[in-house]
Amino acid sequence: MVSKKSFTGSVVISGASSGIGEACAIYLDKLGYQVFAGVRSDADGEALKCKTSERLTPIFLDVTNEVSIIAAANRIKATLDSTGLTGLVNNAGIVIAGPLEFLPVADLREQFEINVIGQIAVTQAFLPLLRESQGRIINMSSDNGKVSIPFLGSYCASKFALEALTDALRIELQPWGIAVCIIEPGSVTTPIWKKSISKADNIWNNLPPEARSLYSVFVDSAHKKANELSNNGFPAEVVAKAVAHALTTKRPKIRYVVGLDAKINIWLAKILPDWILDKLIAHYLGIAKNS
Ligand SMILES: NC(=O)c1ccc[n+]([C@@H]2O[C@H](COP(=O)([O-])OP(=O)(O)OC[C@H]3O[C@@H](n4cnc5c(N)ncnc54)[C@H](OP(=O)(O)O)[C@@H]3O)[C@@H](O)[C@H]2O)c1
């Protein structure tokens, strides 16, 4: 539980235009933080400001663009003077879906540019400010950072990579008392589902006929599951509360598994032999062996 007292630190959140990032921005603003909300358009910044206090400052931040990252860090440094930064929430992310046999490599690269490389680039830029105040880093992973599933291999790989980077970073930053936490939510109701389904449709429609004849039955079935899950997620505010806990508590947890679905999925992946887990996932997604 996060106490109701007011907090006075400052936090940068990437990908605050919608979903979990937006929920974090609103929640942390309510707790009293000075929130620097990473957005990629003025309209998104204005829309967010309408839902928060005057304190919240939208900041242009494209995690794949070095110039934008450095400009954001410099602007925030100038605003904070010498007080340092209390927290960095690396939340921005996208989902690329499709069968790995045919997934265009450019899409795989985009997935990693945003979900992996971008997170470290932003972290590097803000670490000097975090060091000044023993701030904390909170990385947004997923239960898919622990359990990989078909047709989401690209996304899952990006979150597995983020997990590995976070584990290393956490120990590297111990000498300075900079805590590094990772959040592993299950299915959350946010615009990411609609965006990823439309992106997946676009990729699918441009694949060669061979890909369709081999995979269409399975992809249709996975598509239906994604639609089901998107309608049964939990609210983004639940994740924002976990982020707030990681920022405010004296001893933050290393890992925050958020949602019953994530708890079950990660637990099953830990205890089951791989071949049983494979069968379970294939059955769940309606992928039967062809023979
Ligand atoms: N929703 C879930 O079920 C779920 C579950 C587990 C983990 N997560 C993770 O939670 C994080 C947030 O996802 P969400 O569900 O809240 O999705 P969302 O509503 O689609 O939000 C994604 C955010 O990332 C931003 N973004 C995308 N590309 C960017 C870039 N190059 N630079 C900076 N920002 C960029 C988007 O900004 P624009 O609006 O400008 O595109 C948006 O603000 C992601 O890392 C996701 O993997 C989500």
DSSP 198-256: HHHHHHHHTS-HHHHHHHHHHHHHHHHHHHHHHHS-B-HHHHHHHHHHHHHSSS--SEE
In sequence order, the β-bridge partners of residue 34 are 10
For the entire predicted model, the pTM comes to 0.96
pLDDT band at 4, cuts 50/70/90? Answer: low
Q: Residue 87: CB within 6 Å of ligand 1?
A: no
pLDDT value of residue 94: 98
From 13, 18, 163, 260, the mutation candidate for ligand 1 (largest count of ligand atoms within 8 A of CB) is 18
Task: Determine the 3-state secondary structure of 5 from DSSP.
Answer: coil
pLDDT digits (tens, 9 = 90+) for 135-160: 999 999 999 999 999 999 999 999 99
Q: Would you state the pLDDT for residue 290?
A: 60
Per-residue confidence (pLDDT) for residue 146, from 0 to 100: 98
Q: Phi/psi zone of residue 32: left (φ > 0), alpha (ψ -120 to 50 degrees), beta? A: left
The SS3 of residue 70 is: helix
Residue 55: DSSP 8-state: T
Cα 15 to ligand 1 centre (Å): 6
Q: What is the pLDDT of residues 93-141, one digit of tens each?
A: 999 999 999 999 999 999 999 999 999 999 999 999 999 999 999 999 9
**Residues classed as catalytic:** 155
Pocket test for ligand 1, best of 68, 94, 115, 187 (most atoms within 8 A of CB): 94
Q: Could you identify the atom of ligand 1 that is nearest to the CA of residue 230?
A: 3
Beta-carbon contacts of residue 238 (< 8 Å; ≥ 6 apart): 185, 188, 258, 259
Is 60 exceeded by the pLDDT of residue 291? no
Fold assignment, 10-285: Rossmann fold (3.40.50)
Beta strand 136-140 pairing with 87-90: parallel
C-alpha of residue 143 to centroid of ligand 1, in Å: 15
Rounded distance from Cα 194 to ligand 1 centre (Å): 12
Question: In which band, very low, low, confident or very high, does the pLDDT at 226 lie, cut at 50, 70 and 90?
Answer: confident
% of the chain at pLDDT higher than 90? 88
Q: How long is the chain? A: 291
What's the CA gap between 144 and 72, in Å, rounded? 29
Does ligand 1 lie within 6 Å of residue 99's CB atom?
no
